[in-house]
Amino acid sequence: MKCTASAAFGLEGVLKKELEWLGLHPEKAMDGRVYFDATAEAIMRANLYLRTAEHIYILLEETPLTTFDDLFDTVKALPFAEWIDPSGVFIINAKAKKSTLMSERSIQSLTKKALIESLKASTKRYDFPENGPTYTFRASVSDDVFRLELDTSGEALHRRGYRLDAGAAPLKETLAAGLCLLARYTGKRPLIDPFCGSGTIAIEAAMIARNIPPGLARTFAFEDLIPFSNDAFKAVKKAAYQAINLDKDVAITALDYDPKVLIKAKANAERAGVDEDIDFIEARFEMHKFTNQPSALITNPPYDERLMNAREIDALYKAIGRTFKRLDQVDRYLISSVSGTEQKLGLTPTKTRVLFNGPIKARFYQFFKD
Ligand SMILES: C[S@@+](CC[C@H](N)C(=O)[O-])C[C@H]1O[C@@H](n2cnc3c(N)ncnc32)[C@H](O)[C@@H]1O
């Protein structure tokens, strides 16, 4: 089956690598989408294991078109009854960009009508009560290319299930995992996040270290798709449980000065099954005695005036810069959307990369050890 995986802009390269690690063969990556071919079993594994993907879709159609008649006929010709239960609830999310067909409402309603027509033709039934499982489709027209994708994930994959409570301005779990993967964190070196908030970076790092698939505690939309058998999914999950690495020594420290947010972080870590791998410390960054040893520091300091005023941000980033200068044996990584971060830190990064935390454009600054 032709598939696509979606990710935040900036993370497509990491997602491509992850697909390769799963033994899949990603093709092109563009605009937050990576293409690959997969069997039903591989789609289950992709949903379960990918740490940076938001959704995995089956690409039902991808074709150039510029009229609504063509759109309707194209969708009507697709064999929906092979995929979905006709009594399902059908949700069509439409998007249009730089195309002749720009009415998202019409794309949505015509796609749905054509889907029902296809089901009528193949099932010979005429009532569609929409009281069964929910199926979500993404119907998009971009640069006059129409794509229809069937969502196999359901709720976005950053919703792992462990983060029930977060502090202010939490990172998406998929982005936190992406930062750890960009830092090539595998669990061999000690890791510290000195502004841990609800613990997302530390928890995602611990799951990487222990080889815990991020989707183990949740359900997926593919469980209601016809070609996906329950037994096959049970086998995929069983293999995943057996591959969890319980023997390794994992050393992760998560620091925050806010005792209330640390309670949330600990509860999140417990739900993720990694609380024993993380040493949570209530401390102010400026007072903590960091060790200058080969290790990694990955962090997301406050960057937003909801959390601090501009003068406080300046003072804090200056303090971070001073500490970073001293920690020359540590690979230091910092994500922030504060403008002029480099000047505020007083340090030039080895590398910088633009990433998106939801709608917020941020930069990932990387300072490699000497
Ligand atoms: C942007 S949030 C981190 C969010 C986190 N990545 C998450 O996903 O939940 C920044 C955190 O830094 C903490 N903080 C602010 N100033 C601090 C300081 N001087 N020392 C330690 N922690 C601090 C705040 O309490 C807040 O939880």
Same domain membership, residue 345 and residue 208: yes
The span from the CA of 265 to the CA of 254, in Å, is 9
Q: How far is the CA of 76 from the centre of ligand 1 (A)?
A: 51
Tell me, yes or no, whether 157 lies in a domain.
no
Domain that holds residue 12: 2-151
The span from the CA of 16 to the CA of 32, in Å, is 11
Tell me, yes or no, whether 286 lies in a domain.
yes
* Total domain count, the chain: 2
Residue nearest to atom 27 of ligand 1 (CA): 197
pLDDT in the model for residue 57: 98
Ligand 1 and 195: CB distance under 6 A: yes
Ligand 1 and 154: CB distance under 6 A: no
Quick one: what percent of the chain has pLDDT higher than 90?
A: 92
Ligand 1 and 201: CB distance under 6 A: yes
The span from the CA of 285 to the CA of 313, in Å, is 13
- As a whole number, the mean pLDDT across the chain is 96
The sign of the dihedral angle between the CA atoms of 301, 306, 307, 308 is positive
Residue-wise pLDDT for 54-103, tens only, equals 999 999 999 999 999 999 999 999 999 999 999 999 999 999 999 999 99
Q: What is the number of other CB atoms lying within 10 angstroms of the CB of residue 81?
A: 16
Ligand 1 and 166: CB distance under 6 A: yes
What does pTM read for this prediction?
0.96
pLDDT in the model for residue 305: 63
Give the DSSP H or E segment for 48. Answer: helix 40-49
Residue-wise pLDDT for 202-261, tens only, equals 999 999 999 999 999 999 999 999 999 999 999 999 999 999 999 999 999 999 999 999
Residue-wise pLDDT for 155-177, tens only, equals 999 999 999 988 788 999 999 99
**Comparing 106-120, 202-216, 304-318, which segment has the lowest mean pLDDT?**
304-318
Residue nearest to atom 26 of ligand 1 (CA): 197
Residue to mutate (ligand 1; options 160, 174, 195, 200; most atoms within 8 A of CB): 195
Residue-wise pLDDT for 319-337, tens only, equals 999 999 999 999 999 999 9
Tell me, yes or no, whether 163 lies in a domain.
no
Tell me, yes or no, whether 51 lies in a domain.
yes
CATH code for position 124: 3.30.2130.30
Same domain membership, residue 34 and residue 78: yes
pLDDT in the model for residue 310: 87
Tell me, yes or no, whether 162 lies in a domain.
no
Q: How far is the CA of 356 from the centre of ligand 1 (A)?
A: 18
Tell me, yes or no, whether 217 lies in a domain.
no
